Structure 1
């Protein structure tokens, strides 16, 4: 898959032993580390779509730590060499990756596991309650050429 310009992926290493497991997500000495704004979790119940939105300042760093999510990106940036591109990522317990999403790239996700899925995000900016850096469109009624329905076959 050709990645949208500015999007980066880091494969995460899971270290299991008889006590459990350890998985580092983002380190300050990673090549893709920019800066730390805050850390938070967001969840979705099975079949629920959360999206679409983008940020003007913030870069997101998503890791799905419970369940599975289909995370979808859409590049609507006029000056981008990948304008119009869509990327799908199946992330979570069965595919532990960190997905870095640059500013102005629309993104959303859908829980595709049988139980609630949980995303940890490490954005580069803290959330500004008075002036949120979040610009939304409806998940299904919009100009983004993507259908959230499951694709069999």
Structure 2
């Protein structure tokens, strides 16, 4: 596992009304800070990559469909430099993956339906200096 990457197995609580799934709480051991929450969609077979952040840590969960998430450690001083990790996230494997600064990441929608990904980054998006 890439140094600094953390995985949280998400618990789905179903009842007669539907399902509930907590993604990230401020009392979770992996919670760092709150920047914003956003969702993005990816169509079947489409790749969204590569992303690299110099300041923010991402917290990624897939709440509909399935994605194959790939990570690559680009930090030269890291004990896991150039290591690659892959995870399947989605309806049948509900996970939160925390991606540290300077780790390349991207995903492909591998389900037949559009994937919905929620990200809870530690920083607010800066439109003037993305």
- Shorter-chain TM-score bucket reads over 0.9
Aligned residues: 130
Q: Which residue of 1 aligns with 2:103?
A: 105
Instruction: Confirm or deny that 1:57 pairs with 2:60.
Output: no
Using the size of structure 2 for normalisation, the TM-score is 0.99
Q: Which residue of 2 aligns with 1:23?
A: 21
Using the size of structure 1 for normalisation, the TM-score is 0.84
More strand per residue: 1 or 2? 2
Q: Which has the higher contact order (CA 8 A, sep 6+)?
A: 2
Q: Which residue of 2 aligns with 1:124?
A: 122
Equivalent residue runs for 1:2-151 within 5 Å? 3-132=1-130
Runs of 4 or more consecutive aligned structure 1 residues displaced over 4 Å after TM superposition: none
User: Which runs of 5 or more structure 1 residues have no equivalent in the other structure?
Assistant: 133-153
Q: Distance in 2 between matches of 1:103 and 1:84?
A: 14
Cα RMSD of the aligned pairs, angstroms, is 0.5
Select the structure of larger CA radius of gyration.
Answer: 1
User: Which runs of 5 or more structure 2 residues have no equivalent in the other structure?
Assistant: none
